[in-house]
Chain A
Amino acid sequence: MTTAVPTRPAPTAPVPNPPADRPPRDERRAGALLTAPFLVIYLLFLVGPLLVGVALSFFNTTTVKSGLGDWVGWSNYSEVVTDAQFWQAMWHSVLFTLLTTPPLVVLALAAAVLASRVRRGRVLYRVAFFAPYVVPSSVVALIFLWMYTPEIGLLPKVFGAVGLPVPDFIGSTSGGWTAVTLMTLWWTFGFNFVLYTAALQDIPPDVHEAASIDGAGPWQQIRLITVPLLGRTTSLVLILQILASLKVFDQIYLLLGGGPDQSTRPVIEYIYDTGFTSYRGGYGAAATLVYFVIIVAISAAWYGLRRRTAAGSAARAEDS
């Protein structure tokens, strides 16, 4: 073993202490033993469900009794792809993403930029904006359901006082979307706010000093310096928000139950219904995988895009 002669330099490697030499036995053993507990659970309970899902999607498994059922080939998939209800649910998840992502990103950016110009009271902002995020979704739903109560709830009163028409928050589709969007905004806003605030702290203060010496007003500084410098953070916040919004379940299930008449039901609730109301495990697994592939494709596209822009800007830096 090479470890027995540590003083003699290896003939092939001119660098002293080459990392490529064979590590001692106890190091290899310690590495394997320390990784094992995590790795076993990871493979069983993170990779496992994915493999189980792939397997089930080719069988007509039911969720009421154990056992796989019969092999049905690709028919679950062809049924999912042609199922109007699945695509409706998919559209509801996308609609929710379209409704929540712009305000959650833009408002968080605005609030973080404005808050960064204030010297005192930072703790108040942090606590006020982030506190809702640590509250369970069902508690948020209870509070908002009470605030949405027709006639006596707080929000109908506020809408009325401002002169806006009061939507039927729980009973109608458009009112339901308003209700879910407002609640999600309140609940998860703090997360994006915190990401932006952290990024703002990394911008060196001399950039702003230089700009103000050059005569740039505060609004110009924000528009031309701060927001462009936050570009990478915005791209991160955006993708995290899109992925999180596409996975929506709690808010819509709790507040509206996917209703009225399934007109707001998101994909996860559709899968939940097929698996636990219609007991069609195999079919639900196929739907899960179609949805899963869409989500993975979106995040992979984002990673690719980000790598390409990073490479592009590096190339540009080399050119200049």
Chain B
Amino acid sequence: MSTITRPRSAAPKAVPAVDGAKLFDRLCAVCVTLFALIWLVPFAWALATSLRSDGSITENPTSLFAGGWSLHAYSYAWDNHPIGTWYLNSLVISALAVLFTVGFGSMAGFALAFLRYRGRAVVLALVAAGLMLPSEALVLPQFIEYRSFHLLGTFWALVLPSVAAPISVFVFQAFFRGIPRALIEAARIDGASWWRVYARICMPISRPALSTVAILTFISTWNSFLWPLLVLNQTTSQTIPVGLASLVSNSNIQYAEVMASSVLGFLPLIAVFLVFQRQIVQGVATTGIK
């Protein structure tokens, strides 16, 4: 290879090469920024549509300010659909799912990371195998099983699949293994029970794992669609995604009202995302849950 002779010959050309690299980086910046702005268009378009009136939308679909802006569509959407109830349902279900998933997942993760007991190896193997199991594909047998347990129509039906998913145990166990054993042993010598070691020592220093599992559980429970569609059949017990899905229809010409409902559907999640975006993105990058 001729690379050995390269540096010397490249030295006089260093100045234009640096400029070329800079130019390239600037081009990158322009391209990606343009790309990112295009990605924001659907949000902006929905927001703009929701503020207009249906008449002016059909007359001038692309001139955003024609006909003036008002919040009329929002009050209409709020009055005609039980959006408040759907919100409350989604919130309660997601909160319960987070609570139990974090609680049970961290307990099992703690036991697997620090304790020696019978069946530990079996549980570890089950967790690893469960990670590969495409549980979403099993909706039909899942439905029949939940029906025989009389769980259909209850919030538990939506909470339990999230608690049963082994990914939270996996995340907690991986995090706990990074905690120095000396810390645990010191606490044990001081006479702390295992429960105390778990609750008072391990959990407080596991904020990163805790927030990762909590946020991802919240988002995936909030957004799940097919399972709540099957399980919750009363209009008033539906969640936001299922409730809003009843508005999906291509014969619907109340564009502003439909867009107002979708803005109400995405705004709180976007707000949560903006607040926690660093943790959310980090959580996704480290766990790779899809």
Contacts and interface: CB of A to CB of B under 8 A. Distances in A.
Nearest to A114: B28
A34 B61 contact: no
Contact of B222 (A136, A195, A300): A136
B141 A288 contact: yes
B107 A37 contact: yes
A109 interface: no
Contact of A30 (B138, B194, B270): B194
Given A61-B144, A137-B225, A215-B10, A129 B39 contact: yes
B42 A139 contact: no
A276 interface: yes
Contacts of A167: none
A145 to B, nearest CB: 6
Contacts of A39: 108, 123, 126
Contacts of B140: 53, 63, 271-272, 274-275, 281, 284-285, 288
A159 to B, nearest CB: 13
Given A23-B117, A61-B144, A136-B241, 6 more contacts: A28-B117, A31-B117, A130-B273, A218-B24, A288-B140, A291-B137
Contacts of A197: 281, 285
Contact of A240 (B147, B223, B266, B290): B290
Which A-B residue pairs are the 5 nearest by beta carbons?
A31-B117, A53-B141, A198-B285, A31-B115, A30-B194
Interface in B17-73: 17, 20-21, 24-25, 28-29, 31-33, 35-37, 39-43, 45-46, 49, 57-58, 61-62
Contacts of A275: 139-140, 143
Contacts of B177: none
Say which size band chain A's interface belongs to. 35 or more
Max count, chain B CB within 10 A of own CB: residue among A45, A114, A276: A45
Contacts of B117: 23, 27-32, 35
Max count, chain B CB within 10 A of own CB: residue among A114, A138, A212: A138
Interface residues of B, number: 108
A145 B42 CA distance: 11
Given A52-B145, A128-B40, A139-B262, A247 B118 contact: no
B33 A121 contact: yes
A136 B145 CA distance: 26
Interface in B205-222: 219, 222
Contact of B42 (A28, A121, A147): A147
A243 B290 contact: yes
A274 B103 CA distance: 37
A73 interface: no
Interface string A37-54: 111011011111110110
B175 interface: no
A296 interface: yes
B120 A31 contact: yes
A295 B134 contact: yes
B270 A134 contact: yes
Given A66-B148, A157-B62, A195-B285, A139 B116 contact: no
A239 B23 CA distance: 35
Given A118-B28, A134-B270, A141-B248, A30 B195 contact: yes
Contact of A56 (B119, B120, B144, B222): B144
Contacts of B281: 126, 130, 194, 197
Given A135-B270, A138-B242, A28 B32 contact: no
B32 A145 contact: no
A164 interface: no
Max count, chain A CB within 10 A of own CB: residue among B31, B140, B290: B140
Given A131-B270, A142-B248, A137 B241 contact: yes
B196 to A, nearest CB: 10
